[in-house]
Each structure stands twice: as structure tokens, then as C-alpha cells.
Amino acid sequence: MDDDGIDELVMKEFLPIENYVPHRGAMLLLDRLLAADAESAVAEVTVPRDGLYLQDEGMPAWVGLEYMAQTVAAWAGWRALQAGQQVKLGFLLGTRKYDAGADFFAPDTVLTVSVQCELMGENGLGMFDCTIRADEEVRATARISVYEPEDGGAYVQALQNTES
């Protein structure tokens, strides 16, 4: 991937983001998928002026982790649809070395979120190298760990049953 994170990726028209990500309503933070290929994806989000998580100073930089995780979800959803499969529920397990250049993202800032798959196991565990940019400047970086079980709904139900 080059410096802007887009050139080498598949550039085409994509479906609305809701087709790739299981999140809905206020929990869907991405605006659109810009690019995707077998190993990576780029999504876009305009930092909102109101809504979930927003504070007086802007969007807390820690929300960048969710932007990254949802971009991984969009990548996984795009791959699933390319293979004629259904989009699956996935989970953010953790992060390593999250580094944000500031404490907040300013409202109306257009962010591009790039994710690069470093590892995706047959067991659904994956590791991604992620970058958030605004105006071609790196605003945040991280490596995130994710888990995509074969049946996410059954997995959540099993977790709920163990808590009862």
C-alpha cells in the first residue's frame, strides 16, 4: 500500500457501508468503503458534530479504535459478499501500540481509515495494522486483534448463557 493507503487497492463503486458492517444506527460510525482487496481496505468517516461519544472538544481519539475495528469489519464483509457468503459478526479483542497524535478528532474532519491484514487464521483470529489519516497526515496508528467466529450469534448466546 502506498502513503495514502489507496492506490494499490481495488477502486470501484461499493455498496452502502451497511451492506458490509453489521452495526446499525448510532453504532455505525463509518460513512463508506473507499477501497478493498484480499489483504486490506480503506474506509472514510467524517467526524460528526453531534451524536454518540462526541465531547465539547470533539471526538475522543480512543474512538479511532472503533473506526479501525469497523473498517476491519467492512473488509471482512466485502470479502464475504465477494465469496457469496453472508456478513458475519466479529469482535475486537484488543490493541497494541495505539498512538494518536491528539486527544480528539475535530468535528467535520474527514478521516480515512486503512487496515492491512497481517494474519487471519482458520480459527477466525486476526491481526491488522491500522492507520487513520486526515489531509494525508497520520492521526493515529495501531495493531488490532479481532475474532470472527463461524456463527457470531451463537457465540454471543453462549456467552450470555455462561453469565446467567
Give the per-residue pLDDT at 143: 97
Give the per-residue pLDDT at 17: 97
Contacts of 76 (CB under 8 A, 6+ apart): 20, 87, 88, 90, 148
Domain limits for position 74: 17-163
Q: Report if residue 155 sits inside a domain.
A: yes
Closest alpha carbon to 71 in 118, 25, 124, 20: 20
Give the per-residue pLDDT at 96: 85
Q: Report if residue 10 sits inside a domain.
A: no
Q: Report if residue 99 sits inside a domain.
A: yes
Give the per-residue pLDDT at 152: 62
- CATH classification at residue 36: 3.10.129.10
Contacts of 120 (CB under 8 A, 6+ apart): 126
Give the per-residue pLDDT at 10: 54
Give the per-residue pLDDT at 137: 96
Total number of domains constituting the chain: 1
Q: Report if residue 11 sits inside a domain.
A: no
Q: Report if residue 95 sits inside a domain.
A: yes
The three grid cell numbers given for residue 77, joined into one nine-digit string: 464483509
The three-class DSSP label of residue 74 is: helix
Q: Which run of H or of E encompasses 42?
A: strand 40-46
Closest alpha carbon to 88 in 107, 74, 105, 103: 74
Instruction: Kindly report the backbone phi and psi dihedral angles of residue 77, in degrees, each rounded to the nearest multiple of 5, phi listed first.
Output: -65, -40
Q: Report if residue 29 sits inside a domain.
A: yes
Give the per-residue pLDDT at 51: 85
Question: Each residue of 91-137: pLDDT tens digit?
Answer: 999 998 999 999 999 999 999 999 999 999 999 999 999 999 999 99
Q: Report if residue 5 sits inside a domain.
A: no
Q: Report if residue 54 sits inside a domain.
A: yes
Q: Which residues of the chain have pLDDT under 70?
A: 1-12, 152-160, 164
